[in-house]
Amino acid sequence: MSKLPLPITDNLKMPLSQTLSKYRANIQKANSYIKLAYIQDSHGHYIYSTEAQHFITDVAFLKMFMAWESFLEASFTKYLLGQLSATGNVIHRYVFPKNYNHAHSILINVDWDNPEMVRQMAKLYFEDGEPFETYIKAINSELFDLRTIRNAALYLSSSNSCQLDALATRLLKTSCSNINVSQLILSIDPNSSINQTILDAYQLRLDIAAKGIASA
The total number of structural domains in the chain stands at 1
Q: Let me know if residue 3 belongs to a domain.
A: no
Phi/psi of residue 187, nearest 5 degrees: -75, 150
Q: Let me know if residue 171 belongs to a domain.
A: yes
User: What digits encode the pLDDT tens for the residues 126-168?
Assistant: 999 999 999 999 999 999 999 999 999 998 888 999 999 999 9
Rounded CA-CA distance 113/90 in Å is: 26
Q: Let me know if residue 7 belongs to a domain.
A: no
Q: List the domain range (segments joined by +) for residue 30.
A: 12-216
What 11-17 contacts at long range (C-beta under 8 Å, 24+ apart), as own/partner pairs, is 12/74, 12/77, 12/78, 12/81, 12/83, 12/100, 15/83, 15/86, 16/75, 16/78, 16/83, 16/84, 16/85, 16/86, 16/214, 16/215, 17/86, 17/214, 17/215
> Is this model's pTM higher than 0.85 or not?
yes
Residue 171 in contact with residue 197, Cβ under 8 Å? Answer: no
Partners of 208 in the beta sheet? none
**More confidently predicted of 188 and 6:** 188
User: What digits encode the pLDDT tens for the residues 18-43?
Assistant: 999 999 999 999 999 999 999 999 99
Q: Let me know if residue 1 belongs to a domain.
A: no
Q: Let me know if residue 98 belongs to a domain.
A: yes
User: What proportion of the chain, given as a percentage, has pLDDT over 90?
Assistant: 88
Residue 3 has pLDDT above 70, yes or no: no
Tell me which residue of 202, 64, 85, 100 sits closest to 132, measured CA to CA.
Answer: 85
Q: Let me know if residue 2 belongs to a domain.
A: no
- Cβ neighbors of 160 (< 8 A, separation 6 or more) are 148, 151, 152
Q: Let me know if residue 63 belongs to a domain.
A: yes
> Angle, to 10 degrees, between the axis of helix 16-37 and the axis of helix 50-80?
180
